[in-house]
Structure 1
């Protein structure tokens, strides 16, 4: 039932927001067998939510897209994984989709990326 899913999601997000507000960004936290800072965990969750928001809008062209702030965090994460800014003039949404394997790279994009094209998707 979507209503139940929505309520669980809202409760989880509210708890994460409270925890984020109370934790120092440089505080180490453990999750899923990894240790990272609270700030990096919050960025990771924001990037994940933004990419999944894009997934949800694929079949809903009139639905609002993710926030510019979320997309900027995705771009920064992808550029970090690539090791430099992407050498192609992509909008944030296309970059997010292409770099996570949700959209196939075109021949022109593969040429522009050069050897880095083989590294795509950067994460899925």
Structure 2
């Protein structure tokens, strides 16, 4: 397991900040805004909120699903399974879109997301970060699971606010976890001039690399997006 800096926030705290920041956006949305497009191709706001609801629910279940098996993923290697343009990714987009459409009013989906996310945060605060838990066919330390949940929520926070310029931004500590995760997948740190939000978007295929960025990355540029 990777060692964390003694000054780094605990994974449960980072998850809390990530989910609270995302919830601050969701809380203020109305039904009309729920139909706005997001940074996820083919998804409106309500589709993305449903996807994040499912992820919070998965996290809640995983935190209560201890495993006796050996750890086979950590907060970085977990993402190796999530490559863009796969059949699974396409099916997931379709499933979220159809499922989100079953909510007649956005406030029903919004309230379900908010209560589920709050329950996940509470479960994370009470969990031993070293305990092994199972999710999606893998075993992780609970702390690493929390980090993956925070990373996903933070990247989708950026997606969610694409057409909501007045919405509050992601948590700085969660953005730092996104950066650490991307550095881990890349195998090195990118130039400091890339701010956390831009790095998150560029390294996951949300925005194209500039020519200068490609030159700075060299042969590693062909490896992006690192996940999507």
Please report the TM-score for the alignment, with normalisation by the length of structure 2.
Answer: 0.53
State the secondary structure of the residue aligned to 1:69: helix
Pairing 1:64–2:168 present: yes
Q: Where does residue 76 of structure 1 map in the other structure?
A: 180
Instruction: Report if aligned partners of 1:72, 1:92 keep a CA contact under 8 Å in 2.
Output: yes
Pairing 1:11–2:110 present: no
Deviation of 1:38 after TM superposition, in Å, equals: 0.5
Instruction: Compare 6-15 and 38-47 and name the one that shifted more.
Output: 6-15
* Equivalence map 1:84-95=2 (5 Å): 84-87=188-191, 89-95=193-199
Please report the TM-score for the alignment, with normalisation by the length of structure 1.
Answer: 0.95
Q: Where does residue 120 of structure 1 map in the other structure?
A: 224
Q: Where does residue 214 of structure 2 map in the other structure?
A: 110
Deviation of 1:87 after TM superposition, in Å, equals: 3.1
What are structure 1's unaligned runs of at least 5 residues?
none
Instruction: Report if aligned partners of 1:78, 1:122 keep a CA contact under 8 Å in 2.
Output: yes
Deviation of 1:88 after TM superposition, in Å, equals: 5.4
Across the aligned residues of Structure 1 and Structure 2, the Cα RMSD in angstroms comes to: 1.1
Deviations 1:17-38 (A, max 9, x none): 1221221101000011111010
Residues of 2 paired with 1:78 and 1:44: CA distance? 11
What are structure 2's unaligned runs of at least 5 residues?
1-104
Residues of 2 paired with 1:71 and 1:52: CA distance? 11
Instruction: Report if aligned partners of 1:23, 1:38 keep a CA contact under 8 Å in 2.
Output: yes
Equivalenced residues, count:
124
Moved over 3 A (4+): none
Structure of higher RCO (CA pairs closer than 8 Å, 6+ residues apart): 2
Q: Where does residue 73 of structure 2 map in the other structure?
A: none
Q: Where does residue 35 of structure 1 map in the other structure?
A: 139
